[in-house]
Amino acid sequence: MPIRELTPLEARAEHARLVEQIRHHDRLYYQQDMPEVSDAEYDALRRDLEALEAAFPELVSADSPTQQVGAAPSQAFGKVEHLVPMLSLANAFGEEDVSDFLERVRRFLGLDADEPVACLCEPKIDGLSFSALYEDGRYVRGATRGDGQVGEDITRNLATLVDFPERLKETPARIEVRGEVYMDKRDFAALNAAREEAGEAVFANPRNAAAGSLRQLDVSVTASRKLRYFVYAVGVCDGYTPESQHALITWLGEQGFSTNPETHLADSTDAIGEVYAALAEKRAALSYDIDGMVIKVNRTDWQRRMGAVQRSPRWAIAYKFPAEKAQTVIEAIDVQVGRTGALTPVARLTPVTVGGVVVSNATLHNEDEIERKDIRVGDTVVIQRAGDVIPQVVEVVTAKRPKDSAPYIFPKACPVCGSPTGRDPEGAVWRCEGGLVCSAQQVERLKHFVSRAAFDIEGLGAKVVEMFWREGLIAEPADIFTLEARDKDSLSRLKNREGWGDKSAENLFRAIEAARRVSLKRFIYALGIRHIGEGNAGLLARHYGDVDSWVQAMKDASGNEEVMQNLLAIDGIGEKAAHAMTAFFSDERQVAALEALLPLLEVSPDQSGAVDSPVSGKTVVFTGTLVKQSRSEAKAEAQALGAKVAGSVSAKTDYVVAGEAAGSKLKKAEELGVTVLDEDAWLALIGRGA
Ligand code: IVH
């Protein structure tokens, strides 16, 4: 129904509905890095809301999404109030919007109708915005945008960006630079490949991967992800006055920052249109994702005069690219079985080019998604690659549906081994219940076992594992370590096989030999237990110290309350992970595979707690509100000093650090006679006292 025909009551209901949807998508996007809708769909929601508020101004309130930027920061990081709010940009979707923009600029500045307005056109980097503060030329603090007023403190994370300067060439008194953090397309593909191999969830696109990597409490994770950035603006700027956006970018480059080279000056709608077309042409070849072009009035005195409205400056606009879409036909729907048995439907498409890339597969996510969109084999569908590497099906073109088409029926048994399937209580995922009986799971688990973060055996990648498995050379992890001995007695030796030779066979055996010595963390991770990723494997390794203690504890945990409580007390290990481990250790086949493997290895005890510090090896519980640092920062620091951080107090706890308003944990500590420290005493203990 057209907006103007709504009654005030209907308008209010529609307003509430839109606000709720936008808030929901904001949360997914900003706090969970997991958007459900494309940018175009989200923009459409915002436009609907703006139109509605324009027609019914009484619906506008201070907390309407139209009056705000982004979403509130998540709780885990410290907060940073921006010295100058971090704004967003209004969008332009076509030439007309651009010429309207230039007209508004002229009108605001009182220029003649045909007076050129020089604008700097910059690629709109599809990443996450950040701000970085420098005092006297030294980097002092970094933050995410958050809601535009208050962001998250990511000082240490930013310092790990490729080519991020800690010191500037010049020493302006105070300058806050702003820019975008992104992940290179190639680094993104490599990260996802590794995650897939490790059985971890893959990121939908480089933007999400950059967000997930930057907002890590454990800075070493950020550092390992090779994030890059471009700077394109300043907030406060004391000690340097640029005369134009162009001069500013040049100066920032001279100070040691990465700046984007693809910028062009243009001073009319036509000229801007040409730059836009050229950028669109170049888009696919760039090593980073962009989702449009930002047009900025070049003269900074003009910018200053124009200022901002609501959440965006009047002197800049984002000229967005249309989402890259194409039509093609679904030839088949295959269901893949992952390492943990998850069934993922994949559409096999008639190959089609979308934004310069040939696409022949699209993920259908899960059964619910297929049902919701009523996707059928033979359907013509619109697919979309919005910077995504995994293309998605946007909608079915029902007009082109073949007459004899039938709804897709999701398999009720595992398509690989025929075992029954069960639906995850926590999601829309069906899983094969065949465990190690399922050959798909066997192979996927072997691939995981040798993957980079696990045993990392050079020469034994996914393809080779598949080949060895097919030929019956390896069926379970232990077989890898007996391969060489068996090969010696074999009639068809590896070195004589096609694609192999003396050298490559020898190299492989040497790499396998070297892999017998493995750290406890890698070993635990390699087993591929659900919910035990690298992070949890590290926590377990640190807590239990050596492989025998860990294995014994896991075997005991399901029947022994004390062992279970001890496991759950590890800060970071939740019910799900604990349950997954007890399930693993109560499966005879898994235990047999583990027991065949252990004698072939030398699992080195965990060294991460062996730091020389006053709290090394001690178990610490943090409770209450800390004032001098966030609780997560305190925990991370304690761990770096070799302490074990626990989530609950027991007789094994060495210290309870009680902040303000500490409650039941403090009480328990007093009952058990555990040493209680306040924040200052803790800081003094670790040598950070005043
Ligand atoms: S300028 C005051 N320049 O797009 C204007 N933003 O929707 C501040 N972005 O929040 C932004 N590339 O995260 C600017 N070359 C560029 C940009 C850029 C990407 C992002 C930025 C901003 C969002 C606006």
Active site residues: 124
How many residues appear in the chain? 690
Identify the residue whose C-alpha is closest to ligand 1 atom 2.
Answer: 87
pLDDT exceeds 50 at position 578: yes
Q: Which of 277, 295, 320 lies at the terminal end of a domain, its last residue? A: 320
Q: Do 173 and 31 belong to one domain?
A: no
CA 51 to chain centre: 33
CATH code of the domain in which 665 resides: 3.40.50.10190
Would you tell me how many other CB atoms lie within 10 Å of the CB of residue 207? Answer: 28
Condensed to tens digits (0 to 9), the pLDDT of residues 587-614 reads 888 899 999 999 999 999 988 767 788 9
Contacts of 449 (CB under 8 A, 6+ apart): 455, 477, 480, 526, 527, 528
* Span of 176-180, 446-450, 484-488, 629-633 with lowest mean pLDDT: 629-633
Q: What is the mean pLDDT of residues 657-661?
A: 91
Condensed to tens digits (0 to 9), the pLDDT of residues 479-532 reads 999 999 999 998 889 998 888 899 999 999 999 999 999 999 999 999 999 889
Residue 475 lies in a domain: yes
User: Would the CB of 313 count as within 6 Å of ligand 1?
Assistant: yes
Q: What mean pLDDT is reported for the chain?
A: 89
Condensed to tens digits (0 to 9), the pLDDT of residues 433-447 reads 888 789 999 999 999
Contacts of 410 (CB under 8 A, 6+ apart): 335, 343, 345, 367, 370, 430
Rounded distance, CA 298 to CA 244, Å? 5
What is the span of the domain harbouring residue 35?
Answer: 3-67
What pLDDT, on the 0 to 100 scale, is given for residue 388?
Answer: 45
Q: Do 16 and 92 belong to one domain?
A: no
Place of tokens 């194409």: 326
User: Would the CB of 89 count as within 6 Å of ligand 1?
Assistant: yes
Residue 73 lies in a domain: no
Q: What percent of the chain has pLDDT over 90?
A: 57
What pLDDT, on the 0 to 100 scale, is given for residue 51?
Answer: 82
Q: Do 40 and 181 belong to one domain?
A: no
Q: Identify which of 578, 537, 527 has the alpha carbon closest to the alpha carbon of residue 554.
A: 578
Q: Do 658 and 638 belong to one domain?
A: yes
Q: Which of 480, 515, 550 lies at the terminal end of a domain, its last residue? A: 515
Q: Identify which of 638, 632, 654 has the alpha carbon closest to the alpha carbon of residue 217.
A: 632
Rounded distance, CA 534 to CA 200, Å? 10
Condensed to tens digits (0 to 9), the pLDDT of residues 353-389 reads 786 567 889 989 889 999 999 999 999 999 987 544 5
Residue 357 lies in a domain: no
Q: Do 143 and 279 belong to one domain?
A: yes
Q: Do 137 and 260 belong to one domain?
A: yes
Residue 356 lies in a domain: no
Q: Do 572 and 658 belong to one domain?
A: no
Q: What is the mean pLDDT of residues 524-549?
A: 91
Q: What percent of the chain has pLDDT over 70?
A: 95
User: For residue 178, how far is its CA from the centre of ligand 1 (angstroms)?
Assistant: 9
Q: What is the mean pLDDT of residues 162-184?
A: 95
CATH code of the domain in which 221 resides: 3.30.470.30
> Looking at ligand 1, which atom is closest to the CA of residue 260?
15
Residue 392 lies in a domain: no
- Residue to probe by mutation, ligand 1, list 29, 91, 119, 129, most atoms within 8 Å of CB: 129
Q: Identify which of 73, 77, 97 has the alpha carbon closest to the alpha carbon of residue 86.
A: 73
pLDDT exceeds 80 at position 282: yes
User: For residue 88, how far is its CA from the centre of ligand 1 (angstroms)?
Assistant: 7
User: Would the CB of 180 count as within 6 Å of ligand 1?
Assistant: yes
Q: What is the mean pLDDT of residues 529-552?
A: 91
Identify the residue whose C-alpha is closest to ligand 1 atom 16.
Answer: 124
What pLDDT, on the 0 to 100 scale, is given for residue 598?
Answer: 97
pLDDT exceeds 90 at position 626: no
Tell me the longest C-alpha to C-alpha distance in the chain: 90
What pLDDT, on the 0 to 100 scale, is given for residue 690?
Answer: 62
Rounded distance, CA 609 to CA 673, Å? 24
> Looking at ligand 1, which atom is closest to the CA of residue 313?
2
Q: What is the mean pLDDT of residues 649-661?
A: 91
What pLDDT, on the 0 to 100 scale, is given for residue 365?
Answer: 86
Transcribe 265-301 into DSSP letters: EE-SHHHHHHHHHHHHHHGGGSSS-EEEEEEEESBHH
Q: Do 505 and 525 belong to one domain?
A: no
Q: Do 642 and 552 belong to one domain?
A: no
User: Would the CB of 87 count as within 6 Å of ligand 1?
Assistant: yes
Greater confidence, 469 or 630? 469
Identify the residue whose C-alpha is closest to ligand 1 atom 9.
Answer: 124
pLDDT exceeds 90 at position 316: yes
User: For residue 512, how far is its CA from the centre of ligand 1 (angstroms)?
Assistant: 49
User: Would the CB of 184 count as within 6 Å of ligand 1?
Assistant: no
Q: Do 167 and 244 belong to one domain?
A: yes
Q: Do 553 and 668 belong to one domain?
A: no
Distances (CA, A) of 636 to 24, 104, 639: 30, 50, 5
CATH code of the domain in which 21 resides: 1.10.287.610
Q: What is the mean pLDDT of residues 450-454?
A: 88
Residue 365 lies in a domain: no
pLDDT exceeds 80 at position 83: yes
Query: Which residue type occupies 425?
Result: P
What pLDDT, on the 0 to 100 scale, is given for residue 399?
Answer: 93
Q: Do 446 and 303 belong to one domain?
A: no
Residue 404 lies in a domain: no
What pLDDT, on the 0 to 100 scale, is given for residue 558?
Answer: 87
User: For residue 162, how far is its CA from the centre of ligand 1 (angstroms)?
Assistant: 20
What pLDDT, on the 0 to 100 scale, is given for residue 59?
Answer: 80
CATH code of the domain in which 537 resides: 1.10.150.20
Place of tokens 């992970």: 577
Domains in the chain: how many in total? 5
Residue 361 lies in a domain: no
Per the CB < 8 A criterion, the answer to whether 337 and 432 are in contact is: yes
